[in-house]
Amino acid sequence: MAHITLGVTGSIAAYKAADIASGLVKLGHDVHCVCTQKALEFVTPLTLHTISRNPVISSFDDETQSWVPAHIAYAQQTDLLVVAPATANTMAQFVYGLAPDILSSLYLACEAPVLICPAMNEKMWMHSATQHNANILAQRPNHYIFGPDSTGVLACGDFGKGKLMPVDQIIARISEILEISSKNLP
């Protein structure tokens, strides 16, 4: 099956990354989790390591296992980079080519398709800067924006668009993208 890199950012929805990883492993995929430091405030590396069956990287300090930096090795091996949840901050870093952390550095080195699943407060999502960034990312080759979910109670108590798409729908979208990618291979 596919080598999937699951990027996890500092959203309250980060805990759902464990369910995403679990679902992908059950389908036979090789899942490697890359977390921002803020993501680790919501989900532990041990949880993701146990579920994915692979070590979790979250900082440049984790790159001591090989002479090839982990963010480069993961970028070279991945068939699909999934960022779920994706915060407004991470999306902006991707748009402007900023690489202050391991996930954004991996993104810049990655030539595989990228699935970005936003999750944030509705006002943040609807802000013109975030909409601009989402539109730019959606126009890049092999980039897919999936979500956020259109309705629901958000972690802050607001009601509206901003929730991470349901895990089963994310996994289905991943399968669709992998199928499209496999058809485009020579």
- pLDDT tens by residue, 100-151: 999 999 999 999 999 999 999 989 999 999 999 999 999 999 999 999 987 7
Strand-strand pairing, 30-35 and 143-145? unpaired
Average pLDDT, the chain: 91
| AA letter at 53 | R
Q: Is 28 left (phi over 0), alpha (psi -120 to 50) or beta?
A: left
Task: Tell me the per-residue pLDDT of 160-179, one tens digit each, with 9 for 90 and over.
Answer: 788 999 999 999 999 999 99
- Domain total of the chain: 1
Domain that holds residue 116: 3-183
Q: Predicted confidence band at 38 (pLDDT cuts at 50, 70, 90)?
A: very high
Residue given tokens 């499209």 in the structure block: 180
Q: Predicted confidence band at 182 (pLDDT cuts at 50, 70, 90)?
A: confident
Residues 58-66 have a mean pLDDT of 69
CA distance 4 to 21: 9
Q: Predicted confidence band at 180 (pLDDT cuts at 50, 70, 90)?
A: confident
Radius of gyration of the chain (CA): 15
Q: Which two tokens stand for residue 81?
A: 């980079």
With 80 as the cut, is the pLDDT of residue 65 above it?
A: no
Q: Give catalytic status of residue 35 as yes or no.
A: no
With 70 as the cut, is the pLDDT of residue 157 above it?
A: no
CA distance 102 to 107: 9
- Please say whether the dihedral angle defined by the alpha carbons of residues 34, 101, 130 and 43, taken in this order, is positive or negative: positive
Selection from 62-71, 92-101, 141-150 with the highest mean pLDDT? 92-101
Residue 86 pairs in a beta bridge with: 118
- Assess contact for 96 and 108: CB atoms under 8 A: no
Q: Which of 33, 35, 110, 156 is catalytic?
A: 156
Q: Which two tokens stand for residue 59?
A: 């900082």
Number of residues that make up the chain: 186
Shortest CA distance to 142 belongs to which of 180, 109, 94? 180
Task: Tell me the per-residue pLDDT of 76-86, one tens digit each, with 9 for 90 and over.
Answer: 899 999 999 99
CATH number of the CATH domain containing 12: 3.40.50.1950
- Assess contact for 84 and 115: CB atoms under 8 A: yes
